[in-house]
Amino acid sequence: MPWRLEFDSSRIRTPWWTPILSVALALVLCAIFIYANGMSPLTVYSKMVKGAFGTSYGITETLVKAIPLLLCGLGIAVAYRISVWNIGAEGQLIVGAIAATAVTIYFPNLSGFWSILLMLIFGVAAGALWGLLTAIPKTHFGVNELITSLMLNYVALLALDYVTFGPWKDPQGFNMPGSPVFTDAQSLPVLGATRLHIGLIFALVAVVIYYLMIRFTRWGYELRLIGANPNAARYAGIHINRHIIIVMLISGGLAGLAGMAEVSGVSHKLMQGISPGYGYTAIIVAWLAKLNPLGLVVTSVLFGGLIVGGFSVQTIGLPSSISEMLQGAILFFLIAGDMVTRFRIRRGA
């Protein structure tokens, strides 16, 4: 054989176009399935794009969805920097929402400022605690964080069912599960007549802080060192376990903040389906962005659009989970692309 494929393990950086190509390939793959199911892929995709970006309502809705994705994605990115595979953002978001709602139940008469501040603190603390429940088994008992964080997602979901069907059920809610509707003092301010709320500012501030921390602090340097070579970092005297706990606290706290912003800014009450899988989508958001802060902003808007577009295809009788399928396919092509670009064609036997 005059030509052969050679694997170049020294090439770590992948070209900038792999994320774009993987999105394109995923679109093609899903188009095949849609076509095989007797639908026109062009109709479906144009419907999705129009739904997400075609109208000013669509655009603000896309941004509304991008807020939790950006916050969760940022948290996930922090953990992934040191190869802590947190897939529990979904549960961390839910407990954040529950804790923020607890403030409205137990302190109903606070002024706007204090009530929002307390909800923020509760939401972030609950999410961080949920992250800690993943970190401690990993650092002290060697339990794989993937399993723990995922199990805790189901526990959080059941806890949400419990409070919304049980003790916090709105007596005026026509027997529907869900907490009482928040007062204006308990709701985040919104932009004009849209649903776009001030959580967007939280998320953007968090992105800037993330960038500055990773780039310019000793902590960020240590994270980068652990990410590049954990053994070298250990020999250099860096406490990896301590870092695991810190990143999981941050990761969970950011997801908890996302949960608080969702109840206080969007749904204005605690209910089922507070998250249509934001925590899982945020995994792909973080991975597609290559953990890069600016990339995170772009990918979370893109995936916000994917969710909104997913909802808009329901009008032509397709399930909104079509966007989940696209997300999985994007991730497949992305990890494949990351590796394929490390092969080279060489001449010689």
Partner 1 sequence: MDFVTQLLIAAITAGTPLLLATLGGILNERAGIIQLGAEGLMLMGAVTTCIVFIRTENLGAALLASVGVTAALGLVHAFLSITLRANQTMSGLAMTLFGSGFSAYLGKSISGNPLPGILPRLHLDFLKPVPVIGDIFGNLDVLTWLSFVLVIVLHLLIHRTSWGLHLRAVGDSPATADVMGVHVRLIRYGYVTVGAMLIGLAGADMVLTVAPTWNEGLTAGRGWIAVGLVIFARWNPVRALLCAYFFGALDSLGFRMQLLGSAIPPYFLKMIPYVVTILVLMYLGYRNRNKPSGTPESLGVPYIREQRF
Select the residue interacting with partner 1 from 201, 208, 232, 339 (CB under 8 A): 339
**Closer to partner 1 at the Cβ: 9 or 172?**
9
Whether residue 311 contacts residue 324, with contact meaning beta carbons closer than 8 Å, is answered with no
Residues 293 and 286: their CA atoms lie apart, in Å, by 9
Integer Cα distance of 230 and 132 in angstroms = 21
Q: Which of 87, 102, 116, 206 binds partner 1 (CB under 8 A)?
A: 87
Q: Which stretch binds partner 1 (CB under 8 A): 99-107, 151-159, 204-212, 237-245?
A: 151-159
Instruction: Return d(Cα 326, Cα 321) in angstroms, integer.
Output: 9
By CB under 8 A, residue 27 contacts partner 1: no
Q: Nearest approach, Cβ of 212 to partner 1 (angstroms)?
A: 28
42 binds partner 1 (CB under 8 A): no
Orientation angle between helical segments 199-216 and 293-312, nearest 10 degrees: 150
Query: In the bound complex, what is the minimum distance in angstroms from residue 281's beta carbon to partner 1?
Result: 8
For residue 197, give the 3-state DSSP assignment. Answer: strand
Closer CB to partner 1, residue 99 or residue 160? 160
| Least distance CB 197 / partner 1 (angstroms) | 27
Q: Least separation, in Å, of the C-beta of 339 and partner 1?
A: 4
Of 60-68, 94-102, 134-142, 180-188, the window that binds partner 1 (rule: CB under 8 A) is: 134-142
Characterize 150-186 residue by residue with b for buried, 16 or more Cβ atoms within 10 angstroms of its Cβ, and e for exposed: bebbebbbeebeebbeeebbbeeeeeebbbbebeeeb
At 345, phi and psi to the nearest 5?
-95, 125
The H-or-E segment that residue 133 falls in is helix 112-141
> Is residue 299 a contact partner of residue 341, using CB atoms and an 8 Å limit?
no
Which of the residues 165 through 224 are near partner 1 (CB under 8 A)? 165-166
Stretch that binds partner 1, among 54-62, 93-101, 147-155, 209-217 (CB under 8 A): 147-155
3-state SS class at 342: coil
| Binding residues with partner 1: total (CB under 8 A) | 48
Interaction of residue 231 with partner 1, rule CB under 8 A: no
Q: State how far the Cα of 311 lies from the Cα of 298, in Å rounded to an integer.
A: 20
Q: Residue 85 interacts with partner 1 (CB under 8 A)?
A: yes
Choice from 189, 336, 344, 346 touching partner 1 (CB under 8 A): 336
Q: Which is nearer to partner 1, 158 or 212 (CB)?
A: 158
What is the number of other CB atoms lying within 10 angstroms of the CB of residue 195?
14
Distance of CA 321 to the CA centre of its chain: 16
Catalog residues that contact partner 1 under the rule CB under 8 A: 7, 9, 33, 37, 85, 87, 137, 141-144, 146-148, 150-155, 158-159, 161-162, 165-166, 280, 283-284, 287, 318-319, 321-329, 331-332, 335-336, 338-340
